[in-house]
Amino acid sequence: MEYGAIDLHKQESQTRLVKENGEIGDYRIATTRERFTGLFWGRPRMRILLEASTESEWVAQHLESFGHEVIVADPNFTPMYSQRSRRIKTDRRDVAALAEACRRGYYRAAHRRSAAQRTVQCQLNIRRELTDSRTRAIALARAMTRGAGLRIRSGSSESFLTRLSALDLPSSIAATLSPLRNLITVLNEELTQADATFATLVADDPVVARLTTVPCIGPITASAYVAALDDASRFARAGQVTSYLGLVPGEYSSGEQQRRGRVVRSAHPPVQALLVQAAWRMSRSTDPRTAALRAWAQGIARRRGKKIAMVALARRIARILFAMWRDQAAYDDARIRLSRQVAAPRVDGATSAALR
């Protein structure tokens, strides 16, 4: 069976094809459908290895349409580059290492997200960009009004224009802020439409609908969580999910020294941020269904601080969401268990001695 590899780049990609008789062909081609078609169409079925990247999914689908077997590999899998020299790095050396890894099977296939969840992820990315743009516009408007000696009352982003209109602005400042008003108006309309889209998604997707039964978890957080994991069955346990989402502390320990730091880098930072925001909302909630989780987080906050407690609560929320998805069960606060530190009253030394 023939095999090959592609070192993908935005403009041009380096490819290597190896025939059954061992003949090697190296080609530098533009990263376009036309050039891939010209190189791979009409060839016998072959196995092609390429790294997971921005372009990898459409390239993989295009090559699979020709009948080839395409493997999108995890670029963090070190043995895949065992044949590459560390002293000199070129695209030809990289693609040679990938081709050898393809021949030997020294790779770890990356998960390829389903088409439906790729669409949801694109919608989430657009909504996040709209939200960030509105936040920047509001911050700029606040700075300009403060420069004129005026203050805008605190409130939600949706009511910002109403609060801004309540100010008696000088004509020059009002004219200057006019483009920002128009921009924020358009962004509010687009965000309202985006939120309506995700509200519809809850009704159409039973998994997202089930996850929103958790208090403080809305359609956006649930949709982002499902889009990030895509398939719950690819995770054997909840701990793998929290590691995948970066909700575990980084560690660099050796010998007798143990060093732990901030949470590890995540493959999906927006989901990590949404879960932490959900934890903060839950900590301020008065919903009786979250009483056990709040008590658990408060016990950690007393020992380690509020910020660490919120990350711990976000991690536990992620585990609960995974269990609900895996077991196809709605949220049940009766199944939330308190840790011994929270469930048992804390006693000092004298009281402890008296109880012995």
DSSP collapsed to 3 states, 26-75: EEEEECCHHHHHHHHCCCCCEEEEEECCCCHHHHHHHHHCCCCEEEEECC
Name, in order, each residue with C-beta under 8 angstroms of 27's C-beta and a sequence gap of 6 or more. 14, 15, 16, 17, 39
What does the DSSP 8-state code read for residue 288? G
Q: What is residue 99's predicted lDDT score, i.e. its pLDDT?
A: 93
Q: Does 268 have pLDDT greater than 90?
A: no
pLDDT digits (tens, 9 = 90+) for 215-246: 999 999 999 999 999 999 999 999 999 999 98
pTM of the entire predicted model: 0.84
CA–CA distance from 292 to each of 181, 268, 287, 296, 340 (Å)? 44, 28, 10, 6, 12
Distance CA 266, CA 247 (A): 8
The three-point CA angle 253-256-261 to 5° equals 30
Q: Does 252 have pLDDT greater than 80?
A: no
Distance CA 53, CA 48 (A): 15
pLDDT digits (tens, 9 = 90+) for 35-68: 999 999 999 999 999 999 999 999 999 999 999 9
Q: Does 208 have pLDDT greater than 80?
A: yes
Find, among 243, 184, 195, the residue nearest to 219 by Cα.
195
Q: Does 2 have pLDDT greater than 70?
A: yes
The answer to whether residues 69 and 43 touch, using CB atoms and an 8 Å cutoff, is no
What does the DSSP 8-state code read for residue 167? S
pLDDT digits (tens, 9 = 90+) for 270-315: 999 999 999 999 999 999 999 999 999 999 999 999 999 999 999 9
Q: Does 10 have pLDDT greater than 80?
A: yes
Q: What is residue 285's predicted lDDT score, i.e. its pLDDT?
A: 93
353 confidence band (pLDDT: 50, 70, 90):
very low
Determine the average pLDDT of the residues in 1-6. Answer: 93
For 2-104, CATH number? 3.30.420.40
Show the tokens assigned to 78: 């070190």
